[in-house]
Structures are given as C-alpha cells and as structure tokens.
Structure 1
Amino acid sequence: MDTKKDGSAVATPTAQESTLQQIAAHGDYFGYDVHMRRRALRLATGVAVIILGFAAGGFFALLPERNTADVEEIVKGIDKLIGLMTHEIVELPEVQKHPETFIIEIIGILIGYTILKHTSEDHDDYCRAFRRIEQFYTPRARRQGWELNTLCVILATAIIISVHAVIMRWGMTWSAPLVGGLSRLSIAAGCWLYIYGFVMGARTNLFLYNFKALRLINIYELGASESDERREIQLAEKKLCDFSSSLTSFATFFGILGALALYFLPTLRTTYFWMPLAGALVVTIVIKWIVIHYAKTKYEPDFD
C-alpha cells in the first residue's frame, strides 16, 4: 500500500498482479487485445444493424404497396403485442400503406439486439476470468489507439454532414421515405465509425477496464484476502463503479424511450428520432468520464 503526498492511501498491485503484469508485458497472453478488438467490431455492428433496419424500412416504403393477407395478419399480431406492452400508447407507423416496413425494422432490431447481447455476455465472462490486468500497452500503442479514434470521428462526422448537406440542397423534391432512408443510412455508417473508434481507443485504458470489471465482483468477495486498508479502497472504487453502471442503465432506458416516442407516436414522429438517444449518450459519457477520472486520481493515480 502506497500513500500520496497528502497522506491518503492508494491501491498498489499485489504480488500476483505484478506477476501477471510481467507476463503481459511480453505479449498479450490474456487475449485482451484480441478480445477488445472483437468487442469493438461487434458493438459497432450491433448498433449499426439496428439503425440499418430503420433505413431499410424507409427504402421499402418506396416500393409499391403489397398488402397481402399474410403480411396483414403478421402486422396485426405485432400490433396487438405492442399494444399490450405499451397500453395502446404506441401504434405502428403507416400500417395500411407498407406493413412490410415495420417487419423489416423489427428484424433489424432483433438482429442488432442479439449481437449486442452476446457481445455483452462475452465481455462479462472475460471480466470474470480476468478481474484485473496491469498496464502492458506502450505509450506509442496507446497513442495509436486514440489516433485511430480521431480518424474514425472525422470520417463519421464527414459522412453524416455530407449526406445531410446533400439532402438539404437537393432533397426538397425527394420523397420522405427516400430522405429518411438516406439520413438513417448515413447515421448508421457514422455510428459504426464512432463506436468502433472509441472502443479501439479506450481499450488501451486498462484502468477503465479494471474499474468496470468491479461491477461483476461480489462485494463480499472483494478484497477478502487483502489488507483492511486496500479492501476499503476497492470497496470505494466499486461504489463508484456501481454508480456509473446505474447511470448508464438509466440514460440508456430514457434515451431509447425518447427515440421510440419520436419514431412511433403520431404527433411526435420525426426523422430525427435518434436525437434523444444521442443526447443521453453524450451526457452519460461526460458524467462517466468525470466519475472515472475522480476514481483514478483519488485511488490509483500511478496506475499507468
């Protein structure tokens, strides 16, 4: 256990953790980098697939109406299910004109959700197996990760702005489904780049990984074999971690709820239905960064 200049205690690696650090320094024997690269790809793909489902739904609305009896029955069943779940608050958009549109959107949501769910479960399993990993990325590797993130942000922003600039310039004469489809298509591409770049950059921040892994550790097991002082530090970090996780859950819930309201409710429907989710995401990232920065500064300032 080390102390800061002001006399407060900070966490230091145990002998076992130091050994793991020495092993990791000679190569990625934990499979961490491969795991995080795969996670970045899957997270980005899962979100993009959901948005692509809505984009495809917009493009399908351009096709001639084909309200077959089978399609109508499928939509009626989905409509009843949604009505029961939302107490008849939500109704399907343009059911009479293009019922297949909603079916495509539902398929996109299900595929994207499945990808995200499996990715989350895989990451949780990895965190349970490796609860703490000491820093083994070189400063150059960390810099390259954030350079990739910067490049992805620039490309994503350029794609979204360019497509919407074209829509604003020439889209006045285009049909609403075409405009909506193109807008969502650009957002899907942009979100893929944003998420992939961010996760690839953040993967080199192993304090962040260790901090988030605390949420999967039973509070009664945490630091059971450590000194009382170190256990208190780990418990304090876990409290901050749990707060950060709760914040993410609440923000995600309200962001999705707002996005669904702007997409499905007749009086609120807009092509910018994704804005509540984006806003919630930005606010969450800022607050979580503050929490994590505070935890690192207070408890493990010398981690890197």
Structure 2
Amino acid sequence: MSKAEDEETRRGYEWHVRRHARKLADGVGLIMLGVSLSTLGTLLPQHKAEDIDKVIEWIDDVIKHESHELISFSSNQTHPESFLVFIVTLIIGITMLRNEVEDNRDYHEAYPRMNFRYSQEERRAVGREHLAWIIGCVALIVLVHVLIALFTNHVWPSALNTGLSQLALTAGVWGLVYSSVWYGRVNVKVYNFMSLRSMNIYELRKHDEINGIPDYRSVREKNYSDWDANLSHFSIALGVLTAAAFYYLPTLRTSLFWIPMLVILIIGLIIRSFIVHHAINAFEK
C-alpha cells in the first residue's frame, strides 16, 4: 500500500474513532444526565397527576415482568415527572450505546485490518493530550464538590447539592470516556486484533494467507479474540447486574455480596488484559 493510500486510510480511521468516542460518551452522558435531572426534579412541588401515574404504573409492570418481579418501583411517586425523565433518558441512552456498538462492528467488518502505524512521537503526543483530559475532568469533578461543600453550608436542599454533584460527575465522565476511546486509536494492533471478533473462522481457513499472515496464525489469533470478547461480555453483564442488584435490592448491600463480585470482575479484567497482551505480541507485527 502506498503512502498516499495509508494516509487516506488513516484519515478515515481517525474520523471513525472520533465519531465512535463521541457517541459512546454521549450515550453514557445522557444516562447520567437523566439521573441528575431526576434528582433536581425532586425540588419541584409535589403533585399527583392521574395520567402520569398510569404511565408509571405501566412502566413498573413491564419492568417487574422483564425482571421476574425482582425489580419494582414505588407505587407512590411523589415526583412522577422526574421518574419519567430518568426512564426516557435511560432508554434513549441505552439505544444510542447499542446502535454505536453495532456501527463500530460494521466498521470493523468493512475495514478488518489497518497496516499503518503511529510513530513514537505521535503516540507520546496523544498520551500527553489524554493525560491533560484526565486531569481536567478529575479537577472539574473535585472542584465542584469542594465548592458545594464550602459554600452551601447545609442551607441548600440536599437534592440540589446532590443534583449539582451529579451534573459535575456527568461532565467529567463524558470527558473521560471520550478521551479514553480517542486515545485508544494509536493502538492499531489492538484494533486489528479486535476486528477478528467479527470474522468467520471458516472463511479464514479458506485462504493460505490473510493479509500476509498464514491462515493457521489467523485462526489461532481469532480464538484469542473470541476469548477476549467472551470475557468482555461477561464483565459488562456482571457489572450491570451487580450495580442493579446493589441499587434495587437493599438486602444485597453488604460486603459479603459486592466484594466477591468486585473480585471476580477484577480477575476477569486481568485475565482479559493478559490475553490481549499475549495475542498482540504473538501475532501482530
């Protein structure tokens, strides 16, 4: 591939990664923003609206059915509008994240391998930029919490303090998600490794070489990629279920529950990092 072709491929790759980073950050940020707005909504006067109560009752029935009655919301919502804001932003945010995951998978299928590489100087520059994002986001979160602690003097309603804290956390997490995904673009070898998730192992065996790599090596790398995907899905599912159980099932808010779950999650992530590291060193040029 010529230098001009490499540069064109790189521009398209960076356009995709930036778009992917922004959409992931938007999905996570929208869900957290819904939590913040629902908290601030409790500052509004309490009132009852029969139509809204019916909608909430219907949503509660659906959630109870889907969770086999493990999750149930209070039937007496004092601020139903806040609850609806939370539910709507949650649904939209999850939909955005799901669509973006599918879009990213489509890109990997269309462009399964990148042959260009970032220079050491480029990687260092991107690393400095990423570090600046991390410092800025963490500083924003800490600064807002410090200002709230110093100037509210317990005069403001607790819901206002909590809501402002959650807004600061939302902004900080948005920046951290965006910068982390955008920084990850320099790991082109990891991109190539991840692309094998969407490739058919039987298609790989039809060819003597895949992008200059012998087929048996591609199949072995594909197996590692599948293990990595399985561990990723397991970690996400475990994290979501643990958070949901911790939030909705008060009886499980004990160290006997969340510490083993946290240990399992950490072990899974460590094993995944070893798999990725070994596969990159063994198979990627």
TM-score > 0.5 by shorter chain: yes
Rounded Cα–Cα distance in structure 2 between residues aligned with 1:118 and 1:65: 36
Aligned length: 277
Of the structure 1 ranges 86-95 and 67-76, higher mean CA displacement relative to structure 2 is found in 86-95
User: In the alignment, is residue 183 of structure 1 matched against residue 153 of structure 2?
Assistant: no
Say whether the 8 Å CA contact 1:159–1:186 is kept in structure 2: yes
Rounded Cα–Cα distance in structure 1 between residues aligned with 2:27 and 2:242: 20
Percent identity of equivalent pairs: 33
Name 1:56's counterpart in structure 2: 37
The residue correspondences of 1:159-178 to structure 2 (distance < 5 A) are 159-169=140-150, 170=152, 172-178=154-160
Name 1:272's counterpart in structure 2: none
Of the structure 1 ranges 88-97 and 71-80, higher mean CA displacement relative to structure 2 is found in 88-97
Rounded Cα–Cα distance in structure 2 between residues aligned with 1:191 and 1:156: 7
Select the structure that is richer in helix.
2
Name 1:247's counterpart in structure 2: 231
| Inter-CA distance 94–60: structure 2 relative to 1 (3 Å threshold) | farther
| Inter-CA distance 227–133: structure 2 relative to 1 (3 Å threshold) | closer
2:273 maps to which of 273, 285, 289: 289
Name 1:66's counterpart in structure 2: 47
Compute the displacement of 1:32 (Å).
0.8
2:202 maps to which of 217, 220, 226: 220
SS of corresponding position for 2:113: coil
| Inter-CA distance 171–153: structure 2 relative to 1 (3 Å threshold) | farther
Match for 2:84: what amino acid?
I
Compute the displacement of 1:279 (Å).
9.2
User: In the alignment, is residue 42 of structure 1 matched against residue 23 of structure 2?
Assistant: yes
Compute the displacement of 1:75 (Å).
0.4
SS of corresponding position for 2:132: helix
| Inter-CA distance 82–111: structure 2 relative to 1 (3 Å threshold) | same
Ranges in structure 1 where 5+ consecutive residues have no aligned partner:
1-18, 270-274
Rounded Cα–Cα distance in structure 1 between residues aligned with 2:177 and 2:30: 13
SS of corresponding position for 1:62: coil
| Inter-CA distance 162–93: structure 2 relative to 1 (3 Å threshold) | farther
Rounded Cα–Cα distance in structure 2 between residues aligned with 1:110 and 1:250: 22
Compute the displacement of 1:35 (Å).
0.7
Name 2:183's counterpart in structure 1: 201
| Inter-CA distance 192–24: structure 2 relative to 1 (3 Å threshold) | farther
Rounded Cα–Cα distance in structure 1 between residues aligned with 2:171 and 2:260: 19
| Inter-CA distance 142–268: structure 2 relative to 1 (3 Å threshold) | same
Rounded Cα–Cα distance in structure 2 between residues aligned with 1:75 and 1:232: 56
Rounded Cα–Cα distance in structure 1 between residues aligned with 2:138 and 2:262: 14
Rounded Cα–Cα distance in structure 1 between residues aligned with 2:207 and 2:118: 28
Match for 1:297: what amino acid?
N
| Inter-CA distance 163–231: structure 2 relative to 1 (3 Å threshold) | same
Match for 1:72: what amino acid?
D
| Inter-CA distance 83–254: structure 2 relative to 1 (3 Å threshold) | same
1:112 maps to which of 76, 93, 110: 93
Rounded Cα–Cα distance in structure 2 between residues aligned with 1:100 and 1:280: 38
Structure 1 length-normalised TM: 0.81
SS of corresponding position for 2:8: coil
Name 1:78's counterpart in structure 2: 59
Match for 2:138: what amino acid?
T
Compute the displacement of 1:234 (Å).
1.4
Cα RMSD for the two superposed structures: 2.9
Ranges in structure 2 where 5+ consecutive residues have no aligned partner:
254-258
SS of corresponding position for 1:28: helix
Of the structure 1 ranges 195-204 and 223-232, higher mean CA displacement relative to structure 2 is found in 223-232
SS of corresponding position for 1:246: helix
SS of corresponding position for 2:106: helix
Rounded Cα–Cα distance in structure 2 between residues aligned with 1:276 and 1:100: 37
Cα deviations by residue, 1:164-202 (Å, 9 ceiling, x for unpaired):
334455464543422332232122112111111111111
Structure 2 length-normalised TM: 0.85
| Inter-CA distance 125–280: structure 2 relative to 1 (3 Å threshold) | farther
